Amino acid sequence: MTTGFYTHSDCMLHEMGDWHPESPQRLQAIEDQLIASQIAPWLARREAPLASFDDLARIHGGVAIADIRDNTPIDRNSYHALDGDTVLNSHSWNAALRAAGAAVAATDAVLKGELANAFCAIRPPGHHAMPNAAMGFCLFNNIAIAARHAVEVGGLERVAIVDFDVHHGNGTEAAFANDPHVLMVSFFQHPFYPYSGVPPLGDNMLNDPLPAYSEGDVVRRLVTEKWLPALHAHQPQMIFISAGFDAHREDDLGQMGLVEADYAWITQQIMAVAAQHAHGRIVSCLEGGYNLSALGRSVAAHVRALAGID
């Protein structure tokens, strides 16, 4: 079996203005680096389908879904701001459906044994999207939708969500707080947007706030001492990764100090847990990462680890 790579050209068409760091060029930077690193031939590329209403509704209320659908501009030169940094253009609805659809399709393919694991190169990202509202560059919570799909449709009893974005995944935490099926482990810069996660909302949330300028040695220590014991105790039957790469030392949207080798190491630790408890089943979805060079290199390191490429 191989590593799946889900994406769609619709995800390139969503854009929020030339000023916005969450740009279509992020996906192009990933594609370029996968080619340059000679990783692309090792991946099973699949087009992201459109998510269904039922997929979205497992996490999001009808008003939240309609707010995005009904406010997506018809005029391709127009924008609609949902908040100060979350904006819709005429392609945003389809892009958001493709992003959530990729996460669901990857989950199904991994559960069926068609793929060993999968990475979804998608945008808009998702982990700030609350059950009742979009926020923080995010429209639908792709990783939460996939995790809930694995439980309610796939029949799994225990799943884990790992979030290593520089920002706390407040939307994911809100979706699963005190849900016994789900363990969520995360680190994030604190205090920092969205100023959440401390204290956690539930006993199933292992939130590790880190001060600015924390580097890889700090993160590796907390993964070893906190994440791994919690993950092994939970015995997840599938692991989902909110893969944000904005904790990289070159990324100006955060002030942490990770490098590519740290992302590869974290991925390897997660894979070892998945191998022991989950038949290796992992689905990873792109979240943050805004320095294009650092993003491309970090995703390449992450996907190389998922694919087991030396």
Among 134, 110, 87, 137, residue whose Cα is nearest residue 241: 110
The one catalytic residue among 127, 128, 167, 168: 128
Of the candidates 166, 180, 70, the residue with the CA atom closest to the CA atom of residue 127: 166
* 128 given a catalytic annotation: yes
Residue numbers annotated as active site = 128
